[in-house]
Amino acid sequence: MTAKLRSEVAEVTPQENLYTKELIFEDYPVVRSLYGERGSHFKILEDAFKVKLILKGNHIVISGEPEDLDLTEKTLEELYTLIKAGYTIYPADVEYASRILLENPKAHLKDIFLDTILITSGRKSVSPKGITQKNYVEAIRRSEIVFGIGPAGTGKTYLAVAMAVSFLMRGEVNRIILVRPAVEAGEKLGFLPGDLVEKVNPYLRPLYDALYDMLSFDRVVKLFQKGVIEVAPLAFMRGRTLNEAFIILDEAQNTTTEQMKMFLTRIGQGSRAVITGDVTQIDLPEPKKSGLLEAMELLEGIDGITFVYFTKKDVVRHPIVQKIIDAYERRDAK
């Protein structure tokens, strides 16, 4: 146990039907980290579980409804274990932890947060921030082809790039290939300057940003110069066979059915492919059908291909992003 109860659940304010539970933790510096700067972590937990938290030295007093006390206690103990294991928690981590345990009270945060994919150039670790992200990472480890499908902000592309860098650093692949269709919100490529690769580069910016977040700028530039990391516009993929590569096809909802078939049949020996997309953001002109939608119909159940579906609950950006997705879903439902 990471904490010991000093008293059982006891009624403290009969008029308000509130109960209290006091936890005693052994390591005061860890408890201070758990508290957060100016109590920021406690405020997040209070909002998430509808309780009141008070810090008294290495004691934490929880007040609220009995079922809320139990879940708050579980979350505090899980976070305490993470910090003891050397994990630095930030307010966003507390937010994710609360969300995970509200969804699945039996989950163990250390199995998720301590599943380190790689250490970035800034010495921060990249790891899953939720149950679906954990399933996604495990799917990429065991399957040759993984589809990550869901709304923006769920970490589909970022984790795919992290896994690609991890595979490259361990020598499991020889190169990383970044692919994205050149269809974006109804815009045409003609208005952009340069050749086709230069025209497509702006659309690959999220992939570049993820790379720069994980490796130093100079190292990314050198890897591009050596051809270890390659940008391959989807139109340039025809006729190629890609061996010993980690291939990421981003924004796959904007592939046609012909393009998706062409891409999937490029994958050679020793390669991994991750295809990400959001089927609610299809920008193809009518009447073309999305290649991602067709792949979801045709390829489900094939050995070596795994589909991982994210929902708005898996959004790991600012909490307001979830509210924005909700608003658009209500609009679409009408």
pLDDT at 48 over 70: yes
Helix 257-264 / helix 291-298 crossing angle, nearest 10 deg: 60
In this predicted structure, the answer to whether residue 197 has a pLDDT above a threshold of 60 is no
Q: In terms of C-beta density within 10 A (0-12 exposed, 13-18 middle, 19 or more buried), how is residue 256 classed?
A: middle
Tell me the CATH architecture of domain 3-113: 2-Layer Sandwich (3.30)
* Two structure tokens written together for 17: 């039907």
Of residues 145, 169, 175, 179, the one with CA closest to residue 244: 175
E strands present in 106-238: 118-119, 125-126, 145-149, 175-179, 229-231
* Section 127-131 average pLDDT: 91
Highest mean pLDDT, choosing among 63-77, 108-122, 205-219: 63-77
What is the mean pLDDT of the segment spanning 38-56? 94
Locate tokens 């006891």: which residue? 10
Q: What is the mean pLDDT of the chain?
A: 85
- What is the arithmetic mean of pLDDT over 88-116? 92
d(CA 95, CA 72) in angstroms, rounded, equals 13
pLDDT category, 180, cuts 50, 70, 90? Answer: confident
In the prediction, which pLDDT does 15 show? 42
Give percent of the chain with pLDDT exceeding 70: 86
Confidence of residue 334 (pLDDT cuts 50, 70, 90): confident
| Confidence band, pLDDT 50/70/90 cuts, at residue 9 | very low
Question: Do 72 and 101 contact (CB within 8 A), yes or no?
Answer: no
Task: Specify the pLDDT at position 332.
Answer: 78
Residue-wise pLDDT tens digits, 231-268: 887 877 887 888 999 999 999 999 999 999 999 999 99
- Using DSSP's 3-state secondary structure scheme, residue 127 falls into coil
pLDDT score at 181: 84
Which stretch of 12-21, 64-73, 195-204, 284-293 has the lowest confidence by average pLDDT? Answer: 195-204
For 309, residues 6+ apart whose C-beta sits below 8 A from its C-beta are 132, 149, 150
Does the fold of domain 118-333 match that of domain 3-113?
Answer: no
User: Within a 10 A sphere around the Cβ of 236, how many other Cβ atoms?
Assistant: 14
Residue 199 neighbours by CB distance under 10 Å? 17
Residue 25 has pLDDT above 80, yes or no: yes
Domain range list for the chain: 3-113, 118-333
In the chain, at which residue ranges do the beta strands (DSSP E only) sit? 3-13, 18-25, 52-56, 59-64, 118-119, 125-126, 145-149, 175-179, 229-231, 245-249, 272-277, 305-309
Task: Specify the pLDDT at position 1.
Answer: 41
CATH of 118-333, picked from 3.20.10.10, 1.25.40.10, 3.40.50.2000, 3.40.50.300, is 3.40.50.300
Closest CA to 162 of 122, 131, 191, 125: 125
Tokens 């480890």 -> residue: 141
The pLDDT assigned to 280 comes to 87
Q: Picking from 17-21, 50-54, 192-196, which range would have the lowest pLDDT averaged per residue? A: 192-196
What average pLDDT score do residues 287-309 get? 92
